[in-house]
Amino acid sequence: MTPVLEVRNLVTRFHTEDGIVHAVNGISYSVEAGETLAVVGESGSGKTVSALSIMGLLPDPPGRVEEGEAILDGRNLLGLSRAEWRKVRGRKVAMIFQEPMTSLNPVLSIGYQLTEGLRRHLKLTRNEAKARAEEMLALVGIPNPRARLSDHPHQLSGGQRQRVMIAMALSCGPSVLIADEPTTALDVTIQAQIVNLVEGLQKKLGMAIIWITHDLALVAGLAHRVAVMYAGYIVEEALVGEIFRHPRHPYTQGLLRSMPKLDGPREERLDSIRGQPPELKEPFRSCPFAPRCSHGVDTCRQVRPELQEVGRGHTVACWRWDELAEDSKQGGAS
């Protein structure tokens, strides 16, 4: 199938008073209609910056997309002008942000914020846009949607605000939805409701989803494929089942070992990945994970590995992936 969105060699830098921050370092991936790609990694790995770059929402200055393409419907999103972006953002590609209270305008009603995009992109009349907004609120499970249109964000619960954000993102029928940790600020029950809601809407609308998260447990039941990011690089990508059964990169293995196990003993302590994520002030000429890796050898500290295919649809950037593969078979990543 032809990808709906194809990201090629995306490079993003922040030019600050303290130097250049190499936030995203040449990542590439694609996503097809009806597919969910999970982008996973610690805070600071470049997940959100890559999404903001694709959406044309990177703060400039200090952020700047310096290389790459993001091809949607034959157009490079990274080359659009502000006027062109106003026609595309929300209509072709939309984004749900992590904290709806800071994404919704506190002084404007829910109805106004929902109908603004509908009138701009779909050229609906005021009454048509209001009816569509009410329909979208009902679709995402907001009770008494007509009355909610006149409410302001502070009058809704956290879960309801996130549902409003989803309704806004989906109201114009985008081809691609980017969800940036949309359940992080919610309790577990509401998280599950939001995930189920997005999954149901995806099946109904057939859109592609890029789901950004640090929670591998969430990914297990949500995504089709997983891209693991570290220090601005994709270090492993595979089908979700393959990632859980046969992780090849030591960072991926570490993330999996840090997950609580439902069938494990209560007193079992979770493993952690030693050390801290690196500063991104210099480009990496060696493996960025080498200082934290217990499997590292001299080559790891001298030459940065490129992504290589190690199985069907499975790529990894590690010099010792074949040896680690044997470890994972013996339970090293369980």
Q: How far apart are CA 128 and CA 130, in angstroms?
A: 5
The 10 Å Cβ neighbour count of residue 304 is 16
Structure tokens at 31: 């996503």
Could you identify the residue written with the tokens 């439902």? 262
| Parallel, antiparallel or unpaired: strands 314-316 and 308-311 | antiparallel
Q: For residue 164, what are the contacts with CB-CB under 8 A and spacing of at least 6?
A: 100, 104, 110, 113, 114, 137, 140, 142, 153, 156
φ/ψ (deg, to 5) at 21 = -100, 120
The alpha-helical segments, DSSP class H, found in 186-259 are 188-205, 216-220, 240-245, 250-257
Please report the pLDDT score of residue 327 as a whole number: 57
The alpha-helical segments, DSSP class H, found in 187-320 are 188-205, 216-220, 240-245, 250-257
Residue type, 90: G
Please report the pLDDT score of residue 332 as a whole number: 42
User: Quick check: 73 and 175 in contact, CB under 8 A?
Assistant: yes
Q: How far apart are CA 34 and CA 36, in angstroms?
A: 7
User: Quick check: 46 and 235 in contact, CB under 8 A?
Assistant: no
The 10 Å Cβ neighbour count of residue 197 is 16
Q: How far apart are CA 67 and CA 72, in angstroms?
A: 17
Q: How would you classify residue 148: left for phi > 0, otherwise alpha for psi between -120 and 50, otherwise beta?
A: alpha
Q: How far apart are CA 202 and CA 177, in angstroms?
A: 9
Please report the pLDDT score of residue 257 as a whole number: 86
| Tens digit of pLDDT at every position of the chain (334 positions) | 789 999 999 999 999 998 999 999 999 999 999 999 999 998 889 999 999 999 999 988 899 999 999 999 889 999 999 899 988 998 999 998 877 667 889 999 999 999 998 998 989 999 999 999 999 899 888 899 999 999 999 999 888 888 898 888 888 889 999 999 887 767 788 778 888 888 888 888 889 999 999 888 888 888 999 999 999 999 999 999 999 999 999 999 999 988 776 655 555 666 778 888 898 998 899 999 999 998 889 999 999 999 999 999 999 999 999 887 765 554 444 3
Is the bond preceding residue 61 a cis peptide, omega within 30 degrees? yes
Q: How far apart are CA 19 and CA 281, in angstroms?
A: 7
Q: How far apart are CA 232 and CA 216, in angstroms?
A: 18
Q: Where are the beta strands (DSSP E) in the chain?
A: 5-16, 19-31, 36-40, 63-72, 75-76, 93-96, 176-180, 208-213, 225-230, 233-239, 308-311, 314-316
Please report the pLDDT score of residue 331 as a whole number: 46
Q: How far apart are CA 14 and CA 60, in angstroms?
A: 9
Upper half-sphere CA count for residue 184 (Cβ side, 13 Å): 17
